[in-house]
């Protein structure tokens, strides 16, 4: 049982030197540094960023989010052992592969600890860049109900569930609630077309119309690199979500970069190749946990119906899942991370103490 208590479930209470409120999301917490601290760190570490770039310490937790809720298990287990380290290790690996391949950089400027990134502030493109190589999940559910057009693209008749698509589909959706854009509802995560992006590129935070081509190219090329590398491990890259933003480098040049995370088990579906050839889908991503939740509860519509969010939140809060559920997803995350990186995953035994120590001793960022 001791390993269970090594999870980092709470990550917004570290004594990191910040004058601003800590922004805590479902999985990561962000500590924005003061202008003075950012400038000091840029000068001391020689980061390739503008001298006045705002920096933040981003700490990833081991919390597990699915269907917009945080889940826990019996025995007081409030996270998935190894999950945070696995996500960071996978994202770091793919960001490095993209950089080495001449695609684009990321928002990460340093990795002080397996659970910590130092990042520079980016101006985000307000698009969830989604690419799909197989028809599954929500797209399949819509297709099975007769829908054929997705984000302005028309799919052929006769496709079967979990079938490889004729070509990679880019099906973007809005990141956040965008207002005043014709034909785009003012709600989060709504599908948009390439025409929507071109006609309203400034509203989506693109600098120029040409950057729409660039983001699509970075999405396709990034998808291709991950897909080919995973194929060497007999793993199939099914679909994914990328995010992009703009930063200014040390020479004052604006760059379109990758941000958030890429190719992780949280942001992508990854299938086992051997199992698929035998006619079975075996998930090596969070999708397996989502399927467990849908089967575990008597009324799965609570998890799928956005109108029942209040019930869903109560469901997650009031139901401790079987330990096995979180340990299974732990094995999935750690296993796929070690396959991708080719290295044994570093899992902290005392994560908070380690983070505080390294940020204090090597970065001077602890109050």
Q: What is the CATH number of the domain that holds 146?
A: 3.30.470.20
Q: Assess if residue 310 is contained within a domain.
A: no
Tens of pLDDT, residue by residue over 19-29, are 899 999 999 99
Last residue of a domain, one of 228, 253, 277: 277
Encode pLDDT of 42-86 as tens digits. 999 999 999 999 999 999 999 999 999 999 999 999 999 999 999
The verdict on 87 and 73 lying in the same domain is yes
Residue 317 lies in a domain: no
Residue 2 has pLDDT above 80, yes or no: no
| Residue 29: partners with Cβ closer than 8 Å, 6 or more residues away | 11, 12, 14, 22, 23, 58, 59, 61
Domain co-membership, 171 together with 43: no
Q: What pLDDT, on a 0 to 100 scale, did the predictor assign at position 19? A: 87
Residues 6+ apart with CB under 8 A from 299: none
Residues 128 and 270 in one domain: yes
CATH no. for residue 19? 3.30.200.20
Claim to verify: residue 209 and residue 176 sit in the same structural domain: yes
200 occurs within a structural domain: yes
240 domain-assigned: yes
Task: Tell whether 189 and 262 lie within a shared domain.
Answer: yes
Residues 140 and 231 in one domain: yes
Are 69 and 35 within one domain? yes
Whether 155 is in a domain gets the answer yes
Query: Domain boundary at 256, 277, 298, which?
Result: 277
Among 277, 296, 331, residue at a domain's last position? 277
pLDDT surpasses 50 at 37: yes
Q: What is the pLDDT of residue 191?
A: 94
The stretch 312-334 carries a mean pLDDT of 97
Do 182 and 159 belong together in one domain?
A: yes
The torsion region of residue 182 among left (phi > 0), alpha (psi -120 to 50) and beta comes to: beta
Rounded to an integer, what distance in angstroms lies between the CA atom of residue 284 and that of residue 238? Answer: 11
At residue 6, the pLDDT reads 84
Higher per-residue confidence, 306 vs 299: 299
Is 347 part of a structural domain of the chain? Answer: yes
Same domain, 40 and 162: no
Total structural domains within the chain: 2
> Per-residue pLDDT for 284 more than 50?
yes
- Residue pLDDT, tens place only, 184-217: 999 888 999 999 999 999 999 999 999 999 999 9
Residue 245 clears pLDDT 60, i.e. is over it: yes
What pLDDT shows up at residue 306?
A: 87
Whether 135 and 103 share a structural domain: no
Indicate whether 38 belongs to any domain: yes
Q: Please check the confidence at residue 3 and state whether its pLDDT lies above 60.
A: no
| pLDDT above 90: residue 348 | no
Is residue 315 assigned to a domain?
A: no
Residue 349 confidence (pLDDT): 87
238, 92: one domain: no
Would you state the pLDDT for residue 5? 56
Structure tokens that stand for 96 in this block: 């490095």
Q: Is the per-residue pLDDT at 274 higher than 50?
A: yes
Whether residues 66 and 162 share a domain: the answer is no
Domain span at residue 94? 2-122+339-361
Average pLDDT of span 282-295: 95
Q: In the predicted model, what is the mean pLDDT of the chain?
A: 95
């Amino acid at each position: 049982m001791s390993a269970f208590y090594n999870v980092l479930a709470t990550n917004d209470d570290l004594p990191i030197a910040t004058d601003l409120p800590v922004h805590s999301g479902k999985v990561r917490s962000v500590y924005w540094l003061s202008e003075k601290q950012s400038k000091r760190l840029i000068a001391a570490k020689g980061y390739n960023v503008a001298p006045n770039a705002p920096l933040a310490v981003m700490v990833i937790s081991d919390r597990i989010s699915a269907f917009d809720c945080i889940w826990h298990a019996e025995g007081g287990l409030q996270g998935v052992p190894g999950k945070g380290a696995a996500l960071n290790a996978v994202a770091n690996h793919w960001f490095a592969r993209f950089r080495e391949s001449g695609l684009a950089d990321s928002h990460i400027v340093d990795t002080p600890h397996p659970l910590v990134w130092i990042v520079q502030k980016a101006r985000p493109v307000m698009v969830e860049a989604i690419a799909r190589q197989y028809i599954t999940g929500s797209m399949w559910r819509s297709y099975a109900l007769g829908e054929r057009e997705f984000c302005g693209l028309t799919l052929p008749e006769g496709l079967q569930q979990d079938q490889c698509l004729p070509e990679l589909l880019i099906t973007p959706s809005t990141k956040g609630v965008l207002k005043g854009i014709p034909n785009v509802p003012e709600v989060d995560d709504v599908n948009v077309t390439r025409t929507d992006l071109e006609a309203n590129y400034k509203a989506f935070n693109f600098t120029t119309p040409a950057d729409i081509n660039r983001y699509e190219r970075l999405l396709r090329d990034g998808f291709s690199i991950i897909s080919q590398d995973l194929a060497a491990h007999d793993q199939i890259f099914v679909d994914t979500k990328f995010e992009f933003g703009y930063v200014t480098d040390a020479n004052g040049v604006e760059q379109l970069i990758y941000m958030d995370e890429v190719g992780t088990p949280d942001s992508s579906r990854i299938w086992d190749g051997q199992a698929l050839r035998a006619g079975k889908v075996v998930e090596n991503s969070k999708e397996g946990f989502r399927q467990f939740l849908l089967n575990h509860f008597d009324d799965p519509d609570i998890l799928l119906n956005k109108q029942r969010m209040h019930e869903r939140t109560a469901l997650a809060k009031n139901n401790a899942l079987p330990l096995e559920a979180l340990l299974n997803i732990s094995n999935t995350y750690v296993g796929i991370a070690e396959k991708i990186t080719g290295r044994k995953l570093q899992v902290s035994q005392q994560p908070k103490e380690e983070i505080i120590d390294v940020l204090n001793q090597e970065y001077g960022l602890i109050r």
